[in-house]
Amino acid sequence: MKINKVLTLPPVLEEDAIYFVKNGSKADLYIVSNEGDAVPVRDVGFEDIVTDGSITADKLDTFSVEEGKIKNLNVTSNKLANTLDLSSKTVTLPDDSVTENKILDSNVTFPKLGDVINDNTMATAGAANVATSSSIKAYVDSNRPANIVQGFKTDLFTHLNPQNAWYDIPDLSVQITPKFSNSKILISSSVSSSTNNSAYGCVFRYVRDNTPIALGDQRGNRTSCTFAGGYSGGRALQTSGMDYLDNSSLTAGVAVTYKIQVTCETSVDIYINRTYTNGDSNDALSGVSTLTVTEVYQ
């Protein structure tokens, strides 16, 4: 059935139709009978034509409500629902419609940005989290390896008639506590030494928790060592050392001790930080020796 809104009834009426004929502030309702006559029903007000809830999406044709059919000021906030459920919709905003000036500082808060990390562990870090600048700095600081220990020896060490035995060098023993279990330890040394025999130099090796490390191959009766000194004359010091990256397994928080041991052939005397000729004159040298260990984070 077709509905028509007119000012007056037309001379020829459409079959199976309804006519609303304007009559002042109201309208006269006519139904066209089977005989083609306009049969009046009753007078109705325009406000009665459309009642609350009478117009639904199912009763409207596609594109029946167009922008050109809606007059300015006819759509107000009072005529819209208080809450629009757009959860199943896609809302497209024009480019540059959201600007810094349109967002109040008080409207952007940490709760609206997701979980906030404010500690030095970052244990709950994830794609939906944000972290404060202070917590990021604390985390970086706590994980910065920067773990270096040095043994520094300035006084003298002498061992006469060593007989090929290994001896600890006082002060060239250090203890380091690794921060990470997957770290490696870089060992660096510089030892000033001499002997009383031009045919022999001091022999050195690294020791980790009483286990010799960084040794040359064992070939027959030859002495395996880490590095060796030499003899440069009775009034000369021989400075020697080596860098070695120890990749032995570590446990975070468990201390490890590194040290340098020295030996020499049978009755050849060992001198650390002094020359063989050690008279009180400016041609007798007094040196220093160091052992440095550094945690290298992987």
pLDDT tens track for 209-239: 999 999 999 999 999 999 999 998 999 999 9
Residue 64: the pLDDT is: 59
Residue 46: the pLDDT is: 47
Identify which has the larger pLDDT, 259 or 63.
259
Sign of CA dihedral 47, 48, 54, 58: negative
Helix locations, the chain, DSSP H: 46-49, 110-113, 133-143
| Domains, the chain, with CATH or none | 2-76 (no CATH), 103-143 (no CATH), 148-296 (2.60.120.1340)
Instruction: List all residues 6 or more positions away from 265 whose beta carbon is below 8 Å from its beta carbon.
Output: 162, 164, 197, 200
Query: Could you tell me how far CA 272 lies from the centroid of its own chain?
Result: 48
Residue 40: the pLDDT is: 86
What is the rounded distance in angstroms from the CA atom of residue 173 to the CA atom of residue 64? Answer: 91
What is the rounded distance in angstroms from the CA atom of residue 278 to the CA atom of residue 132? Answer: 62
pLDDT tens track for 1-39: 688 888 998 988 888 888 888 888 888 888 888 788 888
Q: Give the Cα-Cα-Cα angle 76, 82, 84 (nearest 5 degrees).
A: 100
Output DSSP code: residue 101: G
Q: Which two tokens stand for residue 278?
A: 């050690």
Identify which has the larger pLDDT, 116 or 69.
116
What is the rounded distance in angstroms from the CA atom of residue 244 to the CA atom of residue 187? Answer: 5
Mean pLDDT of 37-60: 62
**Whether residue 109 has pLDDT greater than 80:** no
Q: Which two tokens stand for residue 157?
A: 């060490």
Of 213, 205, 225, 224, give the one whose Cα is nearest residue 256.
Answer: 213
Model's pTM, two decimal places? Answer: 0.57
Mean pLDDT of 81-105: 77
Mean pLDDT of 161-176: 97
